[in-house]
Amino acid sequence: MKVMKFGGTSVGSAERMKHVASLVSASGPTFVVLSAMSGTTNTLVEIAGYLYNRNPDSAIETINRLEVIYNSHLTKLYATDEWRNTTREFLHEVFDSLRALTRQPFGQVEEKILLAQGEIMSTHMMTNYLHEQGIPSVLLSALDFMRLAAGGEPDLAFIKEKLGELMKAQTDAPLYITQGFICRNAYGEVDNLQRGGSDYTASLIGAAIEASEIQIWTDIDGMHNNDPRIVDTTTAVRHLHFDEAAELAYFGAKILHPTCIQPAKYANIPVRLLNTMEPQAPGTLIDNNRDAGSIKAVAAKDNITAIRIKSSRMLLAHGFLRKVFEIFESWHTSIDMICTSEVGVSMSIDDTRHLGEIVHDLKKYGTVTVDLDMCIVCVVGDMDWENVGFETRAMQAMKDIPVRMVSYGGSNYNISFLVREEDKSRALRALSACLFEN
């Protein structure tokens, strides 16, 4: 059995839902994971904002507006009054429950319940549409099997056991439908896997049912070898190692949620990124196989701050780096890139909420300088240190661009450059020309 996950854009209108229905009904035994219709989770977040700000009137207004939009989707989605009305009644109950939230104290528990409704609605709409079309399918509620353990991580053993039981009770169903993103926490309360978490749901289900493949369907054409918004000559990457996909996900290619990759990687289940608008296109396959010596893609991450601490006390001293790192740890700030020399260390961060405090604390140990508005540009591919030549090509591309830091050797799949944000486009174009266009 395979898993097919459709993102918010793929189920964003009645037409697109119908298209998804035709794709899943032709696909054999499948576990289908759906996001909320695009824009819905953002609207629910907006409603939560009003309720936190004790503004129930604006919350109600936004809820009512959303209900009107959903009702217009129902008009287009169903051919019969029977299914249209059944679904409208279900959605009306959902919207009534949202209106009820505006009349009671609002906190994190209520917020999680609110955010869960987008996926609950899209999956009901889809399952009812499949029923209307006579396509056998079963809706399994993610709230019955998707569970976080006490530490907040998904409880794969529980998910596997519970999902096994639920599927056994419905063995004649060729199509199982469920909600992405939503789950319960260790206390049984409604929770979620963070924004964009539907990919994670798909990966966890794939691992739990030992799927043959996990397909992530979205509205763009797989992972690209560079940012299509900046470089005109990008091409889709056909194959990536899981670790390459993870590097790309962290450094800006937003198409795959970074955490999503882990369960599939460990269970050794291939992930395929496919384009809903072009279902015949081959997409991008991600698995545990390496393409020896090949450079796959370039990605960039903005809003990076570089911090350097220089200290002659560091020379031949031990324990210096620990002291530096402890400062970042105490301010809950993670370090992305790091480069060291005998008398200095440079680090980059993307979360600057505690920059002032961090710099203040670092000044105990040395002279500190900060560079704002930087950008990490990373080259991803098979860069095992015994492969020769690729560093030269990447460096050659940067010959006219001021480079603040270079990091290589942290993983087998990445070489990163820290440059000024204003040089990002130039760097991406130069790397593209040197690495992919000859």
Among ligand ASP, ligand ADP, Mg ion, none, partner that 9 touches (CB below 5 to 8 angstroms by kind): ligand ADP
300 binds ligand ADP, rule: CB under 6 A: no
Contact status: 122 vs ligand ADP (CB under 6 A): no
State how far Cα 273 lies from the chain centre: 13
Report if residue 35 touches ligand ADP, rule: CB under 6 A.
yes
Is residue 197 a contact residue for Mg ion (CB under 5 A)? Answer: no
- Whose structure tokens read 């739990």? 208
| Sheet-wide strand order for 175-179 | 138-139, 175-179, 30-34, 2-6, 214-218, 271-275, 284-287, 239-241
Choice from 2, 4, 7, 67 touching ligand ASP (CB under 6 A): 7
- Beta carbon of residue 384, minimum distance to ligand ADP (angstroms, whole number): 26
Q: Which two tokens stand for residue 142?
A: 């993610």
Q: Is 197 a binder of ligand ASP (CB under 6 A)?
A: yes
Q: Does 56 bind ligand ASP (CB under 6 A)?
A: no
Told to check if 206 binds ligand ASP by CB under 6 A, we report: no
Residue 263: contacted member of Mg ion, ligand ASP, ligand ADP, none (CB under 5 to 8 Å, by partner type): none
220 binds, among ligand ADP, Mg ion, ligand ASP, none (CB under 5 to 8 A by kind): ligand ADP
Q: Are 381 and 244 in contact (CB under 8 A)?
A: yes
Under the criterion CB under 6 A, does residue 117 sit at the interface with ligand ADP? no
Ramachandran area for residue 88 (φ above 0: left; ψ -120 to 50: alpha; else beta)? alpha
Q: Which stretch binds ligand ADP (CB under 6 A): 52-60, 87-95, 253-261, 359-367?
A: 253-261
Q: Does residue 182 sit in helix, strand or coil?
A: strand
The token duo for 364 is 């105990």
Residues in binding contact with ligand ADP, number by CB under 6 A: 12
Task: Give the C-alpha separation, 382 to 379, whole Å.
Answer: 10
Q: Which residue, 66 or 298, is less far from ligand ASP as judged by CB? A: 66
Of 3, 4, 6, 8, the one binding ligand ASP by CB under 6 A: 8
State the nearest-atom distance from the C-beta of 36 to ligand ASP, in Å: 4
Q: What is the DSSP string of 92-157?
A: HHHHHHHHHHTTS---HHHHHHHHHHHHHHHHHHHHHHHHHTT---EEPPGGGT-BB-TTSSB-HH
Single out the residue of 3, 4, 8, 430 in contact with ligand ADP (rule: CB under 6 A): 8
Under the criterion CB under 6 A, does residue 230 sit at the interface with ligand ADP?
no
- 305 belongs to the binding site for ligand ASP (CB under 6 A): no
Contact call for residues 183 and 148 (beta carbons, < 8 A): yes
Q: How far is the CB of 284 from ligand ASP (least distance, A)?
A: 18
H or E, element range at 47: helix 40-52
Q: Which is nearer to Mg ion, 35 or 276 (CB)?
A: 35
Closest CA to 286 of 369, 222, 196, 347: 222
Contacts of 68 (CB under 8 A, 6+ apart): none
* Phi-psi group of 82: left, alpha or beta (phi > 0 → left; psi -120 to 50 → alpha; rest → beta): alpha
H or E element that contains 364: none
Residue 36 binding partner per list Mg ion, ligand ASP, ligand ADP, none, with a CB distance cut-off of 5 to 8 Å that depends on partner kind: ligand ASP
**Residues 379 and 298 sit within 8 Å (Cβ to Cβ):** yes
Contact between 7 and Mg ion (CB under 5 A)? yes
Stretch that binds ligand ADP, among 101-109, 213-221, 380-388, 430-438 (CB under 6 A): 213-221
Pick the piece of the chain touching Mg ion (CB under 5 A) from 31-39, 54-62, 81-89, 147-155: 31-39
| Residue number with CB closer to ligand ADP (179 or 333) | 179
Only segment of 18-26, 145-153, 193-201, 407-415 that touches ligand ASP (CB under 6 A) = 193-201
Q: What is the tally of helices (H) and strands (E) in the chain?
A: 13, 16
Select from ligand ASP, Mg ion, ligand ADP, none the partner in contact with residue 255, using the beta carbon and a kind-dependent cut-off of 5 to 8 Å: ligand ADP
Cα 19 to the center of its chain, rounded Å: 23
Q: Contact residues for Mg ion (CB under 5 A)?
A: 7-8, 35
Binding site for ligand ADP (CB under 6 A): 7-10, 35, 38, 218-220, 253-255
Q: Contact residues for ligand ASP (CB under 6 A)?
A: 7-8, 35-36, 41, 118, 180-181, 195-198
